[in-house]
Amino acid sequence: MSPSIEEVVLAEPRGFCAGVDRAIEIVERALAKFGAPIYVRHEIVHNTYVVDDLKAKGAIFIEDLADVPPGATLVFSAHGVSQAVRREAKERGFSIFDATCPLVTKVHVEVAKLHREGYEFIMIGHKGHPEVEGTMGQLSEGIHLVEDVADVADVQVRQTEKLAVVTQTTLSVDDAAEILAAVKRRFPLVREQKQQDICYATQNRQDAVKLLAPKVDILIVVGSPTSSNSNRLRELAERLGTEAYMVDGPSDLKPQWFEGKRQVGLTAGASAPNILVEQVIERLRALGAVSVRHMPGVVETIEFPLPKGLKLG
């Protein structure tokens, strides 16, 4: 059976968020102003295309600050860094530009403030993710990671009167709510943030998939394997009963996925550039897609300011 695609339906919103836009622009402006190489701690955002493009322009991505020569320009990735990394970078004398997403910085600021007031923390997030390492690394102790409901039962805190919960910004909204409910059952006095930590872009893209997935036969998510928010979109569609695949680009699409599929949904994680979406659409047209339709959705207008010292001209 050959693909029988009639229509591609595009989720709205999809693709780059304000924090990703800002992070990429910081690296590009640093390259334009100071010249190559510009060193970046960790992938600036979790997307292969973006990282390869910046490498070609002169960015060098490192994990260990010992790999950065003295006096070099260093950019912290959008995911944020620990206090230990900040101290080491300062001690090594780098010229530093911080591309941490302002919504991640907001979590860091809240952790520091409440820590001064004597709070301990439970963090809901994925172990090993750079954002989680950065947030937990704001403190030397007193912050406990839970990845799922089962982990909540194992948390050992020193006291329960001053306990706060924070969240990785790119989690599944539904999963985070389920884990938070378990935290509140075990620790009824736990302090929640006034505004949830999961970012607006993660929420909006998941809401769009909730609307789109039941209306299509298959959903394609454009995003790299390391992208947390992209993975959550694929998982969400599958949970809603829709066959879903995540692709880094058009070459990952397999014709057999589309056999007997008339309606194809298409979205992209917050770190995936629109050029990849366009390339995937072209590949779907080559597989027989007749039309492309935009689903109505939230229009995002948020912009974040750049750090001082990066104005051009």
Query: For the sheet containing 120-124, what is the strand order?
Result: 143-146, 120-124, 163-167
Active-site entry in 120, 131, 133, 235: 131
Give the Cα separation of 45 and 47 in Å (integer): 6
- Catalytic annotation present for 6: no
Give the Cα separation of 144 and 141 in Å (integer): 9
Query: Of 260, 227, 272, 198, which Cα lies nearest the Cα of 46?
Result: 227
Q: Is the peptide bond before 37 cis (omega within 30 degrees of 0)?
A: yes
Place of tokens 């050992």: 156
Residue 138 contacts residue 85 (beta carbons within 8 Å): no
Place of tokens 């897609």: 289
3-class SS at 49? Answer: helix
Mark out the alpha helices in 99-155 (DSSP H runs).
102-116, 130-136, 149-152
Give the Cα separation of 37 and 51 in Å (integer): 14
Which residues are catalytic, by number? 131
